[in-house]
Amino acid sequence: MILPGRTIGILGGGQLGRMFAIAARRLGYRVHALDPTPDCPAGQVADVEVVAAYEDVEAACRFATEVDVVTFEFENIPAETLQAVAEIRPVHPSPEVLHICRHRLREKEFLSSNGFPVTPYRAVHSAGELSAALGEIGTPAVLKTADFGYDGKGQVRLDPQLWKGLRAMAELDTTSAAWAAMGRPVGVLEAYVPFLREFSVICARTATGHMACFPPAENEHNRHILDVSTVPGDMPPATVWRAVELAAAIADQLQVVGLLAVEMFELADGVVLVNELAPRPHNSGHYTLDACSTSQFEQQLRAVCGLPLGSVELLRPAAMANLLGDLWEDGEPNWAAALEYPEVALHLYGKHEPRPGRKMGHLTALADSAAAARERALAAREALQSDPESPSKVWF
Ligand code: AMP
């Protein structure tokens, strides 16, 4: 057991690392964060910020010797760096778990070979293989990069309805164009599933196999980026049960020590499919900071330190709305207007540059029902763009 007062190392200094560091410091731990960017979100709140490239194995090893245990918030840490660190200190979740989860093809193969339900898919390594895979899977389909993809980056939708006119006009070879647009050497072609809902479950698991799953969050995306998560979601109880059961079974099969976020689709006939895994805190679990007995970040800390897991009870219906850099388009958002809303918590990540699509912060609203919480979160976010000179509207 790694007790309060000891030092946790976190690889990756984005918002997930920041919220982890805040949770760890609240429990009396010391935190060292490693990230290539000076004054990164986690570095701002950690005890020690180490600025080094992820490829700098020597710096990572020095970092490891100064901490008691290492975890991560960024999935694309080079395998050599992670392996070198793991030889010095325990890394949780293990490099083997990360190896599977950060590569879409390995992840799909792990899931399907262990009997977990996924969308039909094929591995593709060339435009020729893509053409053959399209013949088997059919359209509409989605071509995704096997690695380095996030928030829909490196994804190409293959839908004849979209390209019909275009192909006639430009004599476009759509298969070659789609392959080129993906831009990576290995891809996964997936059948496009007409899901009813998207949701996610975050499961914590300790080294002794204790597990606890947070209530599923129903997720809405905009431009492939998570926009709003609502808890409890609108899924029927049988779907909630199935989702939690699946997330726990996957975390157990992977022998995760830490968190595993499992993104899922619910189809019209009640079938649940696993879309993606992330062995770390997840954007759709930010609601736990304000709405649950234990946050996902504290739960990650407890799991990696070998402490008992905390209660995952939802204390109040909640909705989380992401704040992207686009909100800064016309200047600084009107923070005061959003803060006038009752039961709305504002979380900002300390990022300096508000680029479009960049996650700068989030709002969580609590209310008597999930629908009311969602409405409140959206209204508070909308208020961020109101004119600071106009009279304020207080909503209850
Ligand atoms: P991903 O990067 O796999 O999480 O995909 C981003 C988003 O694209 C998902 O949250 C879905 O909204 C959508 N999407 C991804 N894969 C599929 C699929 N096979 N069928 C339908 N929608 C998908």
pLDDT for 157 beyond 90:
no
Query: Do residues 228 and 321 touch, judged by C-beta distance below 8 A?
Result: yes
Tens-place pLDDT, residues 67-76: 999 999 999 8
Report which ligand 1 atom has the smallest distance to the Cα of 104.
3
Residue 172 pLDDT: 58
Going from the Cα of 55 to the center of ligand 1, the distance in angstroms, rounded, reads 30
Going from the Cα of 91 to the center of ligand 1, the distance in angstroms, rounded, reads 30
Residue 217 pLDDT: 98
Helix (H, G, I), strand (E, B) or coil at 309: coil
Going from the Cα of 139 to the center of ligand 1, the distance in angstroms, rounded, reads 15
Tens-place pLDDT, residues 80-93: 999 999 999 999 99
Mean pLDDT computed over 22-51: 98
State the average pLDDT for the chain: 93
pTM: 0.94
Residue 148 pLDDT: 77
Percent over 90 (pLDDT), the chain: 85
**Parallel, antiparallel, or unpaired for β 30-35 and 7-11?**
parallel
Q: Name the residue with higher pLDDT: 156 or 272.
A: 272
Tens-place pLDDT, residues 241-296: 999 999 999 999 999 999 999 999 999 999 999 999 999 999 999 999 999 999 99
**Could you give the CA distance from residue 299 to residue 120 in angstroms, rounded to a whole number?**
33
Best substitution site from 137, 142, 264, 266 to test ligand 1's pocket, by max atoms within 8 Å of Cβ?
A: 142
Going from the Cα of 378 to the center of ligand 1, the distance in angstroms, rounded, reads 23
User: How far is CA 176 from its chain centroid?
Assistant: 31
**Could you give the CA distance from residue 145 to residue 224 in angstroms, rounded to a whole number?**
14
* Selection from 146, 281, 287, 262 nearest residue 199 by Cα: 262
Mean pLDDT computed over 123-127: 92
In the chain, the domains with their CATH numbers are: 7-91 (3.40.50.20), 120-191 (3.30.1490.20), 197-383 (3.30.470.20)
Backbone angles phi, psi at 15, to 5 degrees: -65, -30
**Could you give the CA distance from residue 18 to residue 291 in angstroms, rounded to a whole number?**
19
Task: Measure the CA dihedral 176/179/184/187, to 10°.
Answer: -140
Q: Which residues line ligand 1 (CB under 6 A)?
A: 119, 142, 152, 190, 192-193, 198, 221, 224, 263, 275-276
pLDDT for 209 beyond 60:
yes
Backbone angles phi, psi at 180, to 5 degrees: -65, -40
**Could you give the CA distance from residue 142 to residue 274 in angstroms, rounded to a whole number?**
15
pLDDT for 133 beyond 70:
yes
Residue 184 pLDDT: 83
Going from the Cα of 323 to the center of ligand 1, the distance in angstroms, rounded, reads 21
